[in-house]
Structure 1
Amino acid sequence: MRLSRALQEKILDLRLRDKLIAEGKVTKAQVEEYLNGLADEESNVTTTDESTAPGMKQ
């Protein structure tokens, strides 16, 4: 992964986002632009019924 891309992903990491906005290092507009640019991955979603998973109590 290229360094610039890694840094951008770090800046927009959910765990850091609010802190960086409060510090003025990232704007809300930058966050919105990033989120709007993400691809729709709905077709790749899978679900698991945990109640029937091996080792789970019935």
Structure 2
Amino acid sequence: MLFTQGFVKPCARMLREALERVDLDEQEIFTHSFKQTVLSAMSDVGVPLRTTFNKLVAL
């Protein structure tokens, strides 16, 4: 599995802290926003569509 709940929560905390440091509104940027980026990057480097889809479903 690409992301697990135990991984997402610390990432959300790190993102929130980083946004506070650069004075950006955390209500407009979410860890969920990065899901599409990760899946697009997987596709760009040739990860099979089925694998990419399975990772999406797991999220």
Asked if Structure 1 and Structure 2 have the same fold, meaning a TM-score greater than 0.5 normalized by the shorter chain, the answer is no
Normalized per residue, the structure richer in helix is 2
Q: Report the TM-score when normalising by structure 2.
A: 0.29
Of structures 1 and 2, the one with the larger relative CO (CA 8 A, separation 6+) is 2
